Amino acid sequence: MSVRARPTSPHLQIYRWTITMAMSIIHRATGIANYAGMALLAIWLVAAAADQEALNLVNLVYGSWFGQLVLFGFTWSLVHHMLGGLRHWVWDFAAMMEPGQRELMAWATLAASVVITLLIWTVFVWMA
C-alpha cells in the first residue's frame, strides 16, 4: 500500500524568520528575564534592610564585571519589554498593523531599547 505524503503544519524550521517573529519571541524571553531581574532587585533590598555586611556582599557581587553585565542585560530587558508593551498598546488602536509598519515598529523598538539602555547606564552608572 502506498503512503501518501501528508501535509505538515508549519513549524520553526520551515518558517522564514521575520523581525516581527523575532520580536514576539524576544518579548516573551524578556518577560521571563524581568522576573529573574526583579529577584535580583529584591535580594538587594533585603540585604539593604538586613545589615551593612549583607549589603556590602551584594554590592560586591553586583559590582563585579559579571554582575554589571547581568544588570546591564536586565536594564535592556526591562526597556525592551516596556517598549514591546507600548507596541502592543499602539496595536490596541488597530494602528501600525500594515505590512511595512509592523517591521518599522519592530526595528524602532529594538533600536530604541539599545539607545535608552545606553542612556540610562551613561547617566546613572558610568557618569554618576
Using the rule CB under 6 A, is 22 a contact of ligand HEM? no
**92: exposed, middle or buried (C-beta count within 10 Å: 0-12, 13-18, 19+)?**
exposed
21 binds ligand HEM (CB under 6 A): no
Residue among 15, 35, 65, 93 that touches ligand HEM (CB under 6 A): 35
The closest alpha carbon to 72, from 31, 40, 111, belongs to 40
By CB under 6 A, tell whether 28 contacts ligand HEM: yes
85 binds ligand HEM (CB under 6 A): yes
Q: What is the total count of residues that contact ligand HEM (CB under 6 A)? A: 12
- Structure letter (DSSP) for residue 98: S
Q: Taking CB under 6 A as the rule, does residue 63 contact ligand HEM? A: no
- 27-58 burial, b for 16+ CB within 10 Å, e for fewer? beebeebbeebeebeeebeebeeeeeeebeeb
Q: Which residues are annotated as a binding site for heme?
A: 81
**Interface residues toward ligand HEM, by CB under 6 A:** 27-28, 31-32, 34-35, 38, 81-82, 85-86, 88
